[in-house]
Amino acid sequence: MAQDFVQQPYKVEQVASGFTSVEFADNPEPRCPCLLLLDTSGSMGGAPISQLNAAIKVFKDELVADPLAAKRVEVAIITFGDAPHLEQDFVDVLTFQPQAFSASGTTAMGASIEDGIRRLTERKDTYRQNGIAYYRPWVFLVTDGAPTDSWQRAAQDVRQGEDNGAFSFFAVGVSDANFEVLNQIASPSRPAVKLDGLRFRDLFIWLSKSLKAVSKSTRGTQVQLDAPGWTTAVS
């Protein structure tokens, strides 16, 4: 399972040059976008949300410490309880300021995935319009439950995006997450994995290292990612 989770060809997508935005004129480096879809429903209250908040800060610190990743990696965050909430639109990691999330509500996972994919598509369009090359985006879902809304269309969007190489979708289940549903949402080639306890910090350190490796790669090369040592068997 760990091998399936990380196995991925990474490449830079080349587009025509020509800036229409100051942010890209100031920093024309290829972008490595990462969208975080984070469950902040009521069941994440207490230790889980506290550990998640701390881990997001470590995630930023790890990326900022790498000068090239700081220029290339972009982060966006959508949290979801009763509805999706855009906590942070796509920005470089130097601009990214982690906020403390609170836990409440149900688990609008399906709507959040759809909203996230739409925003990611818009960001890729912006890259193209400004002549910015980009790596295949990562969509990283973290949840401790099951969707309380309709999720079938979101699953179709995930499968289509994975099959077309539009993004790589990673699903991480925490505690009593419903892996039967998660694996119907995730790509069969990259099934959901279970977080070992509340090892959010280890998860986000792995994610930051992986993004740093991808952001340093050149077009057409394969990137060898470390196995996710923060997982445990799904019971």
The owner of tokens 């039967």 is 180
For residue 7, pLDDT over 70 is answered with no
Scored b (16 or more CB within 10 A) or e, 77-108 reads bbbbbeebbebbebebbeebebeebebebbbb
- Residue 179, phi then psi, degrees to nearest 5: -75, -25
Is the alpha carbon torsion for 13, 19, 24, 25 positive or negative? Answer: positive
2 neighbors 193 (Cβ within 8 angstroms): yes
Q: Is 43 exposed, middle or buried (0-12, 13-18, 19+ CB in 10 A)?
A: buried
Structure token pair of residue 226: 């470390």
Rounded CA-CA distance 166/124 in Å is 9
Rounded CA-CA distance 72/28 in Å is 9
Residues 6+ apart with CB under 8 A from 115: 78, 84, 86
For residue 155, pLDDT over 70 is answered with yes
Per-residue confidence (pLDDT) for residue 128, from 0 to 100: 94
Three-state DSSP class for residue 10 = coil
For residue 217, pLDDT over 90 is answered with no
For residue 1, pLDDT over 90 is answered with no
Residue type present at position 154: A
What does R_g of the chain's alpha carbons equal in angstroms? Answer: 17
pLDDT digits (tens, 9 = 90+) for 98-138: 999 999 999 999 999 999 999 999 999 999 999 999 999 99
pLDDT digits (tens, 9 = 90+) for 179-216: 999 999 999 999 999 999 999 999 999 999 999 999 99
Residue type present at position 55: A
- The residue extents of the domains of the chain are 35-232
For residue 223, pLDDT over 60 is answered with yes
Q: Give the pLDDT band of residue 9 (cuts 50, 70, 90).
A: very low
Superfamily of domain 35-232 in CATH is: von Willebrand factor, type A domain (3.40.50.410)
